[in-house]
Structure 1
């Protein structure tokens, strides 16, 4: 592109110089010949004052010395040479001057000016001044050479400026191309820098906006995949273990096993629905969901998690006041948050796990506590990648809580206690 910009600038400069130089060259030629004609006329006028009326009766006339390369001659009324350097017969230019006017011509390789000599009101002779036209042309050629030199200097300056401007114009585009290649190679942190050219700067901003949106989409997709795998892993494992246990025990009640499998399947369906809804809504508020009594949500969680804790020799207790248990909450969302907190307590906590539901009049407080301790910064524990595991669960739980209009926080580190606050009214 740089070569193209330089080429365009060079063509434009050349056209401009030609349009300027051609009239100047014509003007130089005209000016030099006009200047030389004026010099000849002045020399002829100076000679005229030396010619007296007596030369017509034979008195000698002595003309002043001419300039180098110039010839001065005096002709009588019949056009014959009387004095000076010139042809024997004056020719047409002298004839025209005998009519009383200054005459000028260029013929035979000479530039000639003839000035009439008058006495009284009668023309008695003519002063002829002549010089070689080649001398004038030499001056014209030198003038043209100077003009050509100036044009070449101007053209060189135009090329230099064009190269500089081409560099200024192409450098941001080359940088933008490099940024685009970096993004194509997978570096979504690459961003185009701002520059002083508004049009290219606008392209860079549009490119950065596109990359930002692309990065958000990819991050969104990665989060969705991670969230789905994290949330489906435990329910699927529970469903598989329940079915395998029923198959291994010949005395097991198949209806009970099928009922448990059906409940776990419904929970899986709720999990998939919640993850999809969260993925579609981004980080904003989730669309309205079916509300359930808080007590029903906790009872279902107790049925899902009582067995895993009991297998590890740990207790799971859930307490709530009847009034608090009847308050409506976004069922599927709270279900997922409780599952994440219980899974976290099961994997990383110790001792008895206590789930407490409290009515704060303006909000519901759901506490999940165990007898372990959290060594991480309470502000960083909800970031993805933090902790000893995948670092997804708590980040997803906070995202779900925020999207439902609530707030999830680490209320205590020793012992570990997470608190989910859910507003009961729209103005809170």
Structure 2
């Protein structure tokens, strides 16, 4: 691209110089020849005023000095040279000037100007001034040489400016090309920098916007894959235990009904993960659709068998018996599932799920008898886990809580206690209430 810019700029400069220099060269030539003729005419006129009417009778005529390399002579009406220097055989210019007109001509390689001398309305002679054409031609060639030198300097300056502008224009495009190669090699964090050229910067901004959208899309796809893998593993384990228990009994219908409920919960889990991974980012909070007692009952049915299989206890407690307090059931159940699974895998002893009414919000406390090591904030970072896990579940739970316009946090480290705050008013009108006190 740089060579192309230089070629275009040089071609434009060359065309401009030719269009300007050619007429200027002709104008210089014409001006120098006209100036020399004007000089000859002034010299001839200066000589003509010195000619006395009786020069023919013997009064000598004193003519000015002749032009350098040329001649200055006085001719009478009989076309004879009376004074000065000039050709003995008169030319057509002298003959024409005897008619009373100033004549400019070229004769025998000379520029000639002939001026008539008049007295009493009669031409009594002519003054002929001449100079070699070669002298003027030498001056023309010198002027043309200077013009050619200026032209070459102008072209050299145009090349220098074009090369500099080519670097300025090509640098942002080369940077954008390097950025695209880095993206093609897998570096999705690379971003094109501004280069100071509005049009190229607009392309870079559009490219960065597109790349940001692709990066967000890939991140959501990766998060969905990881979340689905994490969230489906425990329900599938529970489903397997239900089916194994049913196979050990003569009547498998209760186990099949329980397995059907488990598959419905799996379907709800997938729906929640898909909603979380929607392309428009965090969607609006879902509407409350389930009472707290119903939610606690479903949670106990889902998790009691898993804790019992591990030889541990799950205790549920809460002071909410009325059905008029409702929460987004699927999302809250999914978050509580993450917290209970985290307590089952990484905690110890009895696990307690407690519900507290804080007025504008409900607090769901999940506590076990273990002790949390490390900084609590690191637990919610995707890819990090204090207990050797994948670090996906708690990050997913916090994302779900944010979608509910609630909050998930660690309220105690010994024993380990997680608290989920869920607003009980219209989630689209107000923010959730304050956090519950640490236990």
**What TM-score do you get using the length of structure 1 for normalisation?**
0.93
Q: What's the counterpart of residue 129 of structure 2?
A: 129
Other-structure match for 2:436? none
1:61 Cα deviation from its structure 2 partner? 4.1
The 1:381–1:14 alpha-carbon spacing in structure 2 relative to 1, beyond 3 Å, is same
Q: 1:197, 1:45 → 2: CA distance? A: 66
Q: Does 1:228 align with 2:232?
A: no
Whole-Å separation in 2 of the counterparts to 1:304 and 1:328? 20
Aligned partner of 1:391 in structure 2 is 391
User: Which residue of structure 2 aligns with residue 346 of structure 1?
Assistant: 344
CA contact (8 A) 1:285 1:404 kept: no
Match in the other structure for 1:202: 202
Aligned ranges 1:173-192 → 2 under 5 Å: 173-192=173-192
CA separation in 1, counterparts of 2:322 and 2:391?
Answer: 32
For the aligned residue pairs, the C-alpha RMSD in angstroms reads 2.0
- Shift of residue 104 of structure 1? 0.9
How far apart, CA to CA, are the structure 1 residues paired with 2:64 and 2:358? 127
Please give the secondary structure, in 1, of the residue aligned with 2:283.
coil
Distance in 1 between the 2:115 and 2:170 partners? 67
**For the residues of structure 1 that align with 2:333 and 2:116, how far apart are their CA atoms?**
124
The equivalent residue for 1:99 is: 99
Distance in structure 1 (CA, Å) of the matches to 2:250 and 2:408: 41
1:29 aligns to 2:29 (yes or no): yes
Partner of 1:53, secondary structure, is coil
Q: C-alpha offsets along residues 351-377 of structure 1, whole Å, 9 cap, x if unaligned?
A: 111000112222111100111122232
Q: Which runs of structure 2 are paired with 1:312-327 in the superposition (5 Å)?
A: 312-323=310-321, 327=325
Per the alignment, residue 143 of structure 1 pairs with 143
Whole-Å separation in 2 of the counterparts to 1:190 and 1:106: 78
Q: TM-score, normalised by structure 2?
A: 0.91
1:255 corresponds to: 253
Deviations 1:281-335 (A, max 9, x none): 6542346357112222222222222222223332211112242676211111111
Structure 1: distance between partners of 2:183 and 2:263: 41
The equivalent position to 1:330 in structure 2, one of 322, 328, 331, is: 328
The farther-off stretch of 354-363 and 114-123 is 114-123
Between the aligned partners of 2:80 and 2:270, the Cα distance in structure 1 is 124
* CA deviation profile, 1:45-72 (whole Å, cap 9, x unmatched): 3333443333313455454442331112
Distance 1:125 1:16, change over 3 A: same
Say whether the 8 Å CA contact 2:217–2:279 is kept in structure 1: no
1:112 aligns with 2:95: no
- Name which of structure 1's ranges 158-167 and 117-126 shifts more when overlaid on structure 2: 117-126
Partner of 2:380: 382
Q: Indicate the residue corresponding to 1:416 in structure 2.
A: 416
Q: What is the SS of the residue equivalent to 1:299?
A: helix
For structure 2, list consecutive stretches of 5 or more residues without a partner in the other structure: 432-439
Query: CA–CA distance in 1 between the matches of 2:324 and 2:412?
Result: 27
Asked whether 1:238 is paired with 2:208, we answer no
Work out the CA distance in 1 between the residues paired with 2:405 and 2:238.
Answer: 30
Contact 1:285–1:402 (Cα < 8 Å) also in 2: no
Distance (Å, rounded) in 2 between the aligned partners of 1:140 and 1:283: 79
- List per-residue Cα deviations over 1:73-101 (Å, max 9, x = no partner): 22111222233332223222112222333
Q: Is the 8 A contact 1:73 1:129 kept in 2?
A: yes
CA contact under 8 A between 2:285 and 2:405: conserved in structure 1?
no
Q: Secondary structure at the match of 2:51?
A: coil
Tell me if structure 2 keeps the 8 A contact 1:324–1:357. Answer: no
Deviation at 1:123, TM superposition (A): 2.1
- Residue 51 of structure 1 aligns to a residue whose secondary structure is coil
